């Protein structure tokens, strides 16, 4: 495992390990990130009170975005037949979402710095208020959240149609963002929706990751070879 000189082994191992780690980092980042509300002054006060949590959440969120890339390409490598179109559309949406999410976590790092004791709180609040009303910059970043969510749903559909096993794990991948959307539409605590949806994601991706880590290198190569075009054969006279 993780034989960096062996392309098949290393890529399979990285994808499998990322399937285990990415949703965990995503969940911890989402659950530990402080929820700030009110005007810019109130939000900045919340960030100042929970600076450590904000920093941890931002770093874990960026790490999660990085790990979801090998997750995506590791799963795409296994999708064939009826799931290909869904998986390819999902890949476009997920990559956009990951880039936008990483940028948003980077903005949270800026908020962490702005909430540092000793800085001019009035000036920082004015800057925060200006950033939040800059729709030209904010809208594309916020769109990434929805692109990632619907991309994961399409990826799960592609995995299901490709008959990737275990089948129940592909259903959990679909429920990962779907549960968050559905529970968010009913009057319950937001933390409940986060816990349920992230549990689906962690278990579903972990099952696929463990399966991938247990896959022999030869079987991984065999799946990849199915996508290669046939070599033209010489015509005998």
Which burial class, exposed, middle or buried, applies to 190 when counting CB atoms under 10 A from its CB (0-12, 13-18, 19+)? exposed
pLDDT of residue 228: 42
Q: Cα–Cα distance between 55 and 29 in angstroms, integer?
A: 10
- Residue-wise pLDDT for 144-196, tens only, equals 999 999 999 999 999 999 998 899 999 999 999 999 989 888 877 778 889 99
Task: Tell me the percentage of the chain whose pLDDT exceeds 70.
Answer: 93
- Residue-wise pLDDT for 95-134, tens only, equals 999 999 999 999 999 999 999 988 888 899 898 888 877 7
Q: Cα–Cα distance between 22 and 92 in angstroms, integer?
A: 18
DSSP 5: T
Q: Cα–Cα distance between 71 and 53 in angstroms, integer?
A: 26
pLDDT of residue 3: 81
pTM above 0.85, yes or no: yes
Phi, psi of 4, deg, nearest 5 = -65, -20
The answer to whether 19 touches 74, Cβ cutoff 8 Å, is yes
- Residue-wise pLDDT for 221-236, tens only, equals 776 555 544 344 455 5
Write the CA distances from 45 to 34, 55, 57, 166, integer angstroms: 11, 15, 17, 46
Query: Cβ contacts of residue 19 below 8 Å, gap of 6+?
Result: 71, 74, 75, 205, 206, 208, 209, 212
Is the C-alpha dihedral spanning 173, 175, 178, 181 positive or negative? negative
pLDDT of residue 185: 83
The answer to whether 78 touches 162, Cβ cutoff 8 Å, is yes
Helix axes 167-184, 190-214, angle to 10 degrees: 160
Helix axes 51-76, 135-161, angle to 10 degrees: 40
Phi, psi of 137, deg, nearest 5 = -90, -40
């Amino acid at each position: 495992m993780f034989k960096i000189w062996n392309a098949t082994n290393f890529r399979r191992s990285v994808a499998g390990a990322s399937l285990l780690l990415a949703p965990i980092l995503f969940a911890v980042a989402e659950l530990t990130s402080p929820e700030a509300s009110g005007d810019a002054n109130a939000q900045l006060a919340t960030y100042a009170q929970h600076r450590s949590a904000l920093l941890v959440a931002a770093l874990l969120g960026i790490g999660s975005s990085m790990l979801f890339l090998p997750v995506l390409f590791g799963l795409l490598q296994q999708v064939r037949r009826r799931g290909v179109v869904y998986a390819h559309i999902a890949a476009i949406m997920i990559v956009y979402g990951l880039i936008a999410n990483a940028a948003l976590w980077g903005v949270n790092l800026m908020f962490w710095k702005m909430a540092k004791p000793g800085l001019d709180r009035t000036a920082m609040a004015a800057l925060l208020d200006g950033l939040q009303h800059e729709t030209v910059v904010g809208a594309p970043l916020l769109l990434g959240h929805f692109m990632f969510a619907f991309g994961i749903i399409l990826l799960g559909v592609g995995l299901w149609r490709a008959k990737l096993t275990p089948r129940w794990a592909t259903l959990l991948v679909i429920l990962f963002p779907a549960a968050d959307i559905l529970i968010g539409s009913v009057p319950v605590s937001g933390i409940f929706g986060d816990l349920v949806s992230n549990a689906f994601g962690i278990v579903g991706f972990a099952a696929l990751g463990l399966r991938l880590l247990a896959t022999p290198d030869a079987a991984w190569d065999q799946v990849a070879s199915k996508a290669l075009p046939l070599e033209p054969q010489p015509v005998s006279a």
